[in-house]
Amino acid sequence: MPKRLELVIEAVILASRWLLVLFYLGLALALAVYAATFGVKLWDFVSHVFTIDEADAILKMLALIDAALVASLVVMVIISGYENYVSRFDDGDAVHWLGEIDAGSLKIKVASTIVAISSIHLLQVFLNVSSYTSDQLMWFTLIHLAFIVSALFLAFIDRISAQTKSISKASRGDEKAAKSAEN
């Protein structure tokens, strides 16, 4: 009886990964809503393109770029999260452009995208510097630097992890070679 209970528990735990689909569908819905807000921003920019000055045009374009990066981040999380934690896509060619993204590389891509988004926000702030106090500028810059340092640490940790894995694989290969030489 205990073995049967263990198998049931394991089956329930394994099946629980399908609950993540609700999160990914929710993110897809949120992305659709965000696409509508992007459309509003784009319409505002296009409808005023000949009446705004260059600085405002740049700020509006940066806002559009920022929105595209956020949307790309959401898509990356949805697709790679589904692939890594729920199920493989039946048509592997449909997502071949995403590449092999494990949890570690997903963190790096997310962190890199956050740094890019933060950079755009900081550039928007600097282009409109007269609207901010010195303290606000300092905090925006420090927060951006914190994102950069975090992304660098994640990349460093991922690199160490990859080196550890390759050393471990190499030592296992040496063990296999030694065993086959013994036979």
Does residue 79 sit in the same domain as residue 115? no
Does residue 128 sit in the same domain as residue 170? yes
Does residue 30 sit in the same domain as residue 68? yes
Looking at residue 16, what is its pLDDT? Answer: 94
Does residue 78 sit in the same domain as residue 112? no
- The C-alpha atoms of residue 57 and residue 51 are separated, in whole angstroms, by 10
Answer yes or no: pTM beyond 0.75.
Answer: no
Owning domain of residue 31: 1-84
Query: To which residue do tokens 């409109």 refer?
Result: 128
Amino acid (1-letter code) at residue 18: W
Is the Cβ–Cβ distance between 109 and 151 less than 8 Å?
A: no
- The C-alpha atoms of residue 37 and residue 154 are separated, in whole angstroms, by 32
Is the Cβ–Cβ distance between 73 and 110 less than 8 Å?
A: yes
Does residue 116 sit in the same domain as residue 170? yes
Around 72, how many Cα atoms within 13 Å sit in the side-chain half-sphere?
15
Around 46, how many Cα atoms within 13 Å sit in the side-chain half-sphere?
6
pLDDT at 79 over 80: yes
pLDDT in tens, 10-68: 999 999 999 999 999 999 999 999 999 999 999 999 999 999 998 889 989 999 999 99
Looking at residue 177, what is its pLDDT? Answer: 57
Overall number of domains in the chain: 2
Does residue 46 sit in the same domain as residue 13? yes
Looking at residue 10, what is its pLDDT? Answer: 93
Does residue 109 sit in the same domain as residue 166? yes
Does residue 175 sit in the same domain as residue 132? yes
Q: Which two tokens stand for residue 143?
A: 């927060």
